[in-house]
Amino acid sequence: MAGIKLQHLCKTYYINGKKIQALDGIDLEIPEQHFITIVGKSGCGKTTLLRIVADLEKKSAGTISYPDSFDEKKDISIVFQEPRLMPWLTIKENIVFPLGKANQKTVDSNANKYLHLLGLEGFQDAYPTQISGGMAQRVSLARTLCYGPRFILMDEPLSALDTFTRRKLQQEILKIYFTEKLTILFVTHDVDEAVFLGQKVVVMDQGKIIDEIPVDLPYPRNTHSDAFFRLKEKVLDVLLS
Amino acid sequence: MKYLHKLILPLFLLLLWGIGSRAGWFNSYLLPAPSTVWDAALGLLQKGSLFQHLSVSLYRVLAGFLISFAIAFPFGVFMALHKKTYSAFMPLLEFIRHLPPIALIPLLILWLGIGEPPKLTVIILAAFFPIFLNTISGIANCDPKLLEVGKIFAFTAREQFFRIRLPQAVPQILVGMQLGLGYSWRSLIGAELIAASSGIGYMIMDAEQLSRPDIILVGIFSIGLLGCLIDFLFLIISEKILRQNIRKDEVWPE
């Protein structure tokens, strides 16, 4: 299945004349309709990788190839670590923010669809300052879905949330992944989250991919099963090696 | 009842003024009694001259302020989006910013005559910098994280401006406008020093010539009260515009 292919991707920063190799020859294939998680310690280059794929930063070397009929502007989007909602807009207006000059009927139908899908009904007229962090992150996800991308990059979107909200949102993300037939590249520093969500866990360290571990567990995953625990241990071993 | 405590200090000062005048603490020529000032105000109101002077001044302030906004806002937006041009203009603008508009009056009379233009120019200059500088700051200091949201949704430069930069800058632009409006009022007397034959500033200067401190005080109180009223109206309009300034404790239950 065609997908996005990263070949020998490099990113070098110079800070006060000192060279920092944020990405060092990343090769990764992200097949369409796959859920891939990237796990690694802070500063290993996960976010830089995502930002380069999202075209928010320029790569120093390497290539990114997209499948045929892929619109680099329209078919890809990102959910950030922070919700980044527009404080002057209501929740509904934030969700339909990417639609721009679409007619009112399209705006309303999209708003209703994603308010329902993310369980945000009843909050449509609230403002971002009035809702919790978990709600705000749901709005951010709804906004990205409203844009209609085939490929979604997620940069630790649940890292600021409490354990309960986090698990609830992980399940919602999986539900959306299946119903919307998306391709997701999800960055996290939480091994449990990486194994719970991904079909493949990519382990990164010092700007390199050090292992790719397939997760052949059926959804929904039981986090207390032996198989889940063994996979978590395996990822941790790679990370700590 | 909510605002009652705000009236305590002004009422206390008024009472002190009244008692002091009655007890002879103040020279009535330097500070007439409140009752004298009140009588003068009623007399001016009955003659209609207070309303006439106030309406002329109000027209000058509003016209000057609106012209100032019409120049400062687009100029500020342009400078915020063209940082190199701004840095080229900055020394000159800094120089002008430090000039009190009143200091320019003699030149303005020479250049523009003694009609309305120099008076309006003083008010325009007074209101210009708060609006201009707040517009620059609001537009230029837009949160880059929000701009990235526009970038991932493939916004054009125009969309970035009208859908992210400008709405985010609105609170700061409104602060600039509020300051500008206040500065316009404060420069009014200076503006009406220029061969005026009407306006509250003229009324005050005329009262000075006639040795009528009671009328001077009526003029001062009128400017203060009208300034407060306009500021209050401006705040109400601002709050309607700034929908995000909703009380933070109004949390929606999950």
Asked whether B55 and B65 are in contact (CB, 8 A), the reply is no
Q: How far apart are CA B238 and CA B178, in angstroms?
A: 9
> Which chain A residue shows the shortest CA-CA distance from B142?
A86
* Digit-coded pLDDT (tens) for A17-54: 898 899 999 999 999 999 999 999 888 999 999 999 99
A137 domain residue, yes or no: yes
Report the residue from A56, A135, A147 with minimal CB separation from B254: A135
Tell me the pLDDT tens digit for each residue of B210-228: 989 999 999 999 998 998 8
Using CA atoms, how far apart are residues B188 and B184, in angstroms rounded to an integer? 6
Q: Do A88 and B244 touch (CB under 8 A)?
A: yes
Mean pLDDT of B28-51: 91
Quick check: B252 pLDDT over 80?
Answer: no
pLDDT at B244: 55
Name the minimum distance, in Å, from the CA of B199 to any CA of chain A: 41
Q: How far is A231 from chain B (nearest CA, A)?
A: 34
Which candidate in B146, B174, B244 is best for mutational testing of the A interface (most A CBs within 10 A)?
B244
Please tell me the total count of domains within chain A.
Answer: 1
ipTM: 0.89
Partner-chain contact A84 B148, CB within 8 Å: yes
Nearest alpha-carbon partner for A78 in A102, A50, A106:
A50
B254 band by pLDDT with thresholds 50, 70 and 90:
very low
Task: State pLDDT tens for residues A58-114.
Answer: 999 999 998 888 888 889 999 999 999 999 999 999 999 999 877 888 888 889 988
Percent residues over pLDDT 70 in chain B: 94
A137 and A158 Cβ atoms separated by less than 8 Å: yes
Number of Cβ pairs closer than 8 Å across A and B? 58
| φ, ψ (nearest 5 deg) of residue B160 | -55, -45
Res B12 pLDDT > 50: yes
Q: Please, which contacts does B111-116 make with residues 24 or more away whose CB atoms are closer than 8 Å?
A: B114/B194, B114/B195, B116/B60
Any residues with CB less than 8 A from the CB of A17 and at least 6 apart, and which?
none
Q: Alpha carbon of A54 to those of A79, A89, A98, A141, A160: distances in Å? A: 10, 25, 16, 16, 22
User: Residues of B near A (CB-CB distance < 8 A)?
Assistant: 145-146, 148-149, 151-155, 159, 163-164, 167-168, 170, 242-244, 246, 248, 250-252, 254
Q: Which residues of chain A lie closer than 8 angstroms to B242, CB-CB?
A: 88
**Per-residue pLDDT at B142 exceeds 50:** yes
CA dist A50 to A61, A182, B129, B205, Å? Answer: 15, 16, 43, 69
CB-nearest partner of B159 from A77, A78, A100: A100
| Of B151, B152, B167, Cβ closest to residue A88 | B167
Q: Is residue A2, in this structure, part of any structural domain at all?
A: no
Structural domain for A99, as ranges: 81-148
Buried b (16+ CB within 10 A) or exposed e, B83-93: eeebeeeeeeb
Instruction: Name which of A82, A127, A130 is nearest B145 (Cβ-Cβ).
Output: A82
Which of A201-210, B171-180, B185-194 shows the lowest per-residue confidence on average (mean pLDDT)?
Answer: B185-194
Comparison of pLDDT for A155 and A69, the residue scoring more: A155
Would you say residue A60 lies in a domain? no
Q: What is the CATH number of domain B49-239?
A: 1.10.3720.10
| B168 CA: distance to closest CA in chain A (Å) | 8
pTM exceeds cut of 0.80 = yes
Nearest to B244 among A80, A87, A147 (CB): A87
Of the pLDDT bands very low, low, confident and very high (cuts 50, 70, 90), residue B114 is confident
Helices B166-186/B213-241 angle, 10° precision = 180
- In A, which residues are within 8 Å of B250 by CB distance? 130
Query: Would you kindly state where each structural domain of chain B is located, as residue ranges?
Result: 49-239
Mean pLDDT, chain B, rounded, equals: 88
Residue of A nearest to B240 (CA): A88
DSSP 8-state code for residue A8: E
3-state SS string for B191-202: HHCCCCCCCHHH
> Does the CB of A77 have a partner CB in chain B at under 8 Å?
yes
The Cα–Cα gap between A140 and A146 comes to 10
Interface touch B250/A130, C-beta < 8 Å = yes
Residues 96-115 of A with CB under 8 A from B: 97-98, 100
* Six-digit token string for B7: 């009236």
**Which pLDDT does position A169 carry in this prediction?**
87
Q: Which residues of B touch A132 (CB under 8 A)?
A: 254
Contact assignment for B152 to A88 by CB distance below 8 Å:
no
Listing DSSP states for A14-56 in one string gives EETTEEEEEEEEEEEEEETT-EEEEEE-TTSSHHHHHHHHTTS
Compute the average pLDDT of residues B148-164. 94
Question: Which among B155, B163, B254 has CB closest to A132?
Answer: B254
Two tokens at B106? Answer: 């003699």
Which of A205, A228, A225, A224 is CA-nearest to residue A215?
Answer: A228
